[in-house]
Amino acid sequence: MLASPRAIIPDGDIADNLRSYARHLRASNVSPRTVQTYGEAVRQLVEYLAANGMPVEVAHVKREHVEASSRTF
């Protein structure tokens, strides 16, 4: 399931919202390379969370999950 063109899906997983996030970045006039780099960072976060049994649903990801993933990059 992909994010709607207008909103973040709080019940969806992070990957469901990636398209919406990329659209937001483009609307903010960031460079295409920034959109690509941020998108890859989100994909790496999702991979890390899933591989380590952590939640990937937006509503359930907590600060400690993101901090744990940042120590591996």
Number of domains present in the structure of the chain: 1
pLDDT value of position 72:
78
- Note down the domain range covering 49: 14-70
Identity at 21, one-letter amino acid code: Y
Q: Indicate whether 65 belongs to any domain.
A: yes
Between helix 63-70 and helix 32-51 the angle, nearest 10°, is 100
- Residue 3 located in a structural domain: no
Residue 19 has pLDDT above 80, yes or no: yes
| CA pair distance 34, 63, nearest whole angstrom | 23
**26-66 pLDDT per residue, tens:** 999 999 999 999 999 999 999 999 999 999 999 999 999 99
